Structure 1
Amino acid sequence: MTDTHGDGTLAVEVRELLGDRHPVVVAATLSPDGTRLAGLSADLDADFELGSISKGITGLLYVDALDRGEITPSTTLGELLPLASAPAAAVTLESITTHRSGLPRLPASAAPLRRSVSLWTTGANPYGETLDQLIGQTRGVRLQRPKARYSNLGFELLGHAIASAAGMTYADLLHQRIAVPLGLDVFYVPATPDELRPGAVIGTSRSGRARRPWTGEAVGPAGGIRASIRAMAQLTAALLDGSAPGVTALDPVARFSGPVRIGAAWITLDRLGRLITWHNGGTGGFRTWIGLDRAAGTGVVLLSATSLSVDRHGFELLARLTGQAAAAHRCEPGER
Structure 2
Amino acid sequence: MKILSLRHYLAFASMYLMTFSIPGFADADGHYRGVLQLSEHSQLVFGVRIAGDEVTFDSPNQGLFNHAPTEFELSNEALSLYDAGMSLRFDAKFEQRQLVGQFRQGSERAEAIPLTLQRLSAEDLASLSYEGQYVGQLQISRQQSLPLRLNLARVTQAIAPSGFIATLDSPAQQSFGIPITRVEINAEQLSFESQLLGARFVGDYQQVNDRDGYTGTFTQGREFELRLQREDGHSAVAQYRSPELGQHGGALAKLTATGEQQWQLETEYFGDHDAQVQYEIGSVTKPMVALILAQLVSAEQVALDTPLAHFFTGADPSITLARLATHTSGLPRLPANLFITANPRNPYAHFDLAALQSILAATPVSSNQQIPDYSYSNYAYGALGEALAIAAQSDLNSLFETWVFNPANMGNSTLALTGLSLPDLSQGHDASGEQVPHWQFDALAGAGAVVSTLPDMVAYVRYLMTLQADNDAAMTQMMTPQLRIADCCEQALGWILQTDDDGATFAMHSGQTGGFNSFVGFYLDGSAALVYLGNQAYDHTQNLRRQLIQLRQTSLSATAE
Normalising by structure 2, we get a TM-score of: 0.51
How far does the alpha carbon of each residue in 1:25-50 deviate from its partner, in whole angstroms, 9 at most, with x for none?
Answer: 11111111312222213111211111
Provide the residue aligned with 1:91 in structure 2.
319
What secondary structure sits across from 1:276 in the alignment?
Answer: strand
What secondary structure sits across from 2:514 in the alignment?
Answer: coil
Provide the residue aligned with 2:328 in structure 1.
100
Q: CA deviation at 1:296?
A: 5.1
1:51 and 1:301 mapped to 2: Cα distance?
14
Provide the residue aligned with 1:72 in structure 2.
303
Q: CA deviation at 1:215?
A: 0.7
Provide the residue aligned with 1:287 in structure 2.
517
Contact 1:104 1:144 (C-alpha < 8 Å) held by counterparts: no
Contact 1:61 1:177 (C-alpha < 8 Å) held by counterparts: yes
Contact 1:61 1:245 (C-alpha < 8 Å) held by counterparts: no
List runs of 5+ in structure 2 lacking aligned partners: 1-242, 259-263
Partner residue of 2:466 out of 214, 228, 241: 241
The range that moved more, 21-30 or 148-157, is 21-30
Provide the residue aligned with 1:266 in structure 2.
495
How far does the alpha carbon of each residue in 1:181-202 deviate from its partner, in whole angstroms, 9 at most, with x for none?
Answer: 121111110212x423221112
2:396 and 2:295 mapped to 1: Cα distance?
14
1:24 and 1:279 mapped to 2: Cα distance?
21
Q: CA deviation at 1:21?
A: 6.4
Larger strand proportion of the pair: 2
2:391 and 2:507 mapped to 1: Cα distance?
28
Q: What aligned pairs does 1:170-181 form with structure 2 within 5 A after superposition? A: 170-181=396-407
What secondary structure sits across from 2:531 in the alignment?
Answer: strand
Q: What aligned pairs does 1:115-130 form with structure 2 within 5 A after superposition? A: 119=344, 124-128=345-349, 129-130=351-352
List runs of 5+ in structure 1 lacking aligned partners: 1-17, 332-336
Q: Would the alpha carbon gap of residues 207 and 197 (structure 1) be closer, same or farther in structure 2, given more than 3 Å must change?
A: same
Provide the residue aligned with 1:153 in structure 2.
379
2:557 and 2:292 mapped to 1: Cα distance?
36
1:290 and 1:265 mapped to 2: Cα distance?
12
Q: Would the alpha carbon gap of residues 20 and 310 (structure 1) be closer, same or farther in structure 2, given more than 3 Å must change?
A: closer
**Within the alignment, does 1:216 sit opposite 2:438 as a pair?**
no
Contact 1:100 1:148 (C-alpha < 8 Å) held by counterparts: yes
**Within the alignment, does 1:225 sit opposite 2:450 as a pair?**
yes
**Within the alignment, does 1:135 sit opposite 2:322 as a pair?**
no
Larger helix proportion of the pair: 1
AA at the equivalent of 1:62? L
Give percent identity, aligned residues only. Answer: 22
Contact 1:130 1:218 (C-alpha < 8 Å) held by counterparts: yes
Q: CA deviation at 1:109?
A: 2.0
Provide the residue aligned with 2:86 in structure 1.
none
Higher relative contact order (CA 8 A, sep 6+): 1
Provide the residue aligned with 2:535 in structure 1.
305
Provide the residue aligned with 1:252 in structure 2.
481
Q: Would the alpha carbon gap of residues 234 and 142 (structure 1) be closer, same or farther in structure 2, given more than 3 Å must change?
A: same
Contact 2:328 2:374 (C-alpha < 8 Å) held by counterparts: yes
Q: CA deviation at 1:218?
A: 1.6
**Within the alignment, does 1:197 sit opposite 2:422 as a pair?**
yes
Greater gyration radius? 2
Normalising by structure 1, we get a TM-score of: 0.84
The range that moved more, 22-31 or 48-57, is 22-31
AA at the equivalent of 1:173? L
Q: Would the alpha carbon gap of residues 103 and 234 (structure 1) be closer, same or farther in structure 2, given more than 3 Å must change?
A: same
How far does the alpha carbon of each residue in 1:96-132 deviate from its partner, in whole angstroms, 9 at most, with x for none?
Answer: 11111111111222228x95xx64xxxx111111222
What secondary structure sits across from 1:36 in the alignment?
Answer: strand
**Within the alignment, does 1:164 sit opposite 2:390 as a pair?**
yes
**Within the alignment, does 1:110 sit opposite 2:338 as a pair?**
yes
Q: What aligned pairs does 1:310-321 form with structure 2 within 5 A after superposition? A: 310-321=540-551
Contact 1:177 1:245 (C-alpha < 8 Å) held by counterparts: no
1:323 and 1:271 mapped to 2: Cα distance?
10
Partner residue of 2:248 out of 23, 48, 61: 23
2:323 and 2:533 mapped to 1: Cα distance?
29
Q: Would the alpha carbon gap of residues 135 and 300 (structure 1) be closer, same or farther in structure 2, given more than 3 Å must change?
A: same
Q: CA deviation at 1:20?
A: 6.6
What secondary structure sits across from 1:62 in the alignment?
Answer: helix
What secondary structure sits across from 1:105 in the alignment?
Answer: coil
Q: CA deviation at 1:208?
A: 1.7
Provide the residue aligned with 1:182 in structure 2.
408
Contact 1:53 1:281 (C-alpha < 8 Å) held by counterparts: yes
Q: CA deviation at 1:138?
A: 2.1
2:535 and 2:473 mapped to 1: Cα distance?
28
What secondary structure sits across from 1:181 in the alignment?
Answer: coil
Contact 2:500 2:549 (C-alpha < 8 Å) held by counterparts: no
2:275 and 2:366 mapped to 1: Cα distance?
43
- State how many pairs are aligned: 303
1:166 and 1:39 mapped to 2: Cα distance?
38
Q: CA deviation at 1:298?
A: 0.7
Contact 1:291 1:301 (C-alpha < 8 Å) held by counterparts: yes
Contact 2:275 2:454 (C-alpha < 8 Å) held by counterparts: yes
AA at the equivalent of 1:299? A
1:268 and 1:137 mapped to 2: Cα distance?
31
Provide the residue aligned with 2:268 in structure 1.
38
Q: Would the alpha carbon gap of residues 20 and 295 (structure 1) be closer, same or farther in structure 2, given more than 3 Å must change?
A: closer
2:539 and 2:305 mapped to 1: Cα distance?
36
